[in-house]
Amino acid sequence: MPRLSGPARSLLDLRTYLHALRLAHFTSYSHVRQVRRLELGEGVSIAPNVSFRNAERISIGAGSHIGEHSVLWAGNNTGRITIGEKCLFAPNVTVTASNYGIVQGDVPIMDQPKDERDIVIGDGAWLGANVVVLAGVTIGEGAVVAAGAVVTKDLPAQCIAGGVPARVIGVRPTAAPEGTAGPATEPVAEDSPEAAA
C-alpha cells in the first residue's frame, strides 16, 4: 500500500479539523465578539488578527489604525485603555492595563492580586513594531515610540522615545513659520550638549 504524502495525511487527520475549530473559537472570543464592545471613532481600522480583552473598557479615536497581531488588554475590573484620534500602531504592539503582582514572594504570580491602571495614548501618537505599553502609562499627543521599546512611565507630547525601558531620546521638529524654509526646531537628543543648555 503506498504511503500518503504530507498534505494527504493532514487532510485525513481529524486533529487538523479540530485545531481549525479551536482557531475559529479563539478568533471569535478574542476579536469578533470583542470588537462589538469597543468604543470606536469614525474611520478606525483594525487588522483582523488583533486580540482584545475586556473591550468594553477600550476606546479608539477617529482615524486610528491598529496593526497586525497587536494585543489590547484592558483590566478585568477597572483598567481602561483610551487611544486618541489618528494614532498609528505598527504590528505586534501590546498595550496592557493590567499586570500581575509580584510583591508576595511566597504566592504564585498567577494567584496575586492584579495591578489595574488606566492607559492613555494621545492623539497622533505612533507606536512602532513590537512596542509594549504597561499599566498606568500616559503617552502624550504626537509622541513617537521606537520599535521594540517597553514603555513603563509617562512620555511627553511630541517626544521621540525608545529603549527598554523607554526614555525620551529626542523631540519632533515643529513646522516652519510661514515664509521660512526648514523646520522651526530640530530634534535634540535628551543627552546631547544642546539639551543640557
Instruction: Pick the range with the lowest mean pLDDT from 3-17, 32-46, 101-115.
Output: 3-17
Q: Which pLDDT belongs to residue 168?
A: 97
Give the start-to-end residue ranges of the domains of the chain: 37-196
Say what the pTM is: 0.80
Inter-residue contact 157 to 172 (CB < 8 Å): no
Class for the domain spanning 37-196: mainly beta
What is the pLDDT confidence band of residue 15, given thresholds at 50, 70 and 90? confident
* Rounded Cα–Cα distance for residues 3 and 103 (Å): 57
pLDDT over threshold 70, residue 189: no
Provide mean pLDDT across the span 30-49: 92
- Which range has the top average pLDDT, 7-11, 36-40, 123-127, 189-193? 123-127
Q: Which pLDDT belongs to residue 85?
A: 98
pLDDT over threshold 80, residue 183: no
Q: Which pLDDT belongs to residue 27?
A: 83
Q: Cell match 471569535: residue?
A: 28
Instruction: Pick the range with the lowest mean pLDDT from 23-27, 67-71, 187-191.
Output: 187-191
pLDDT in tens, 86-136: 999 999 999 999 998 888 888 898 888 889 999 999 999 999 999 999 999
Of 86 and 175, the structure prediction assigns the larger pLDDT to 86
Residue (of 71, 65, 38) closest to 52 by Cα position: 71
Residue by residue, DSSP assigns 97-108 as SEEE----TTS-
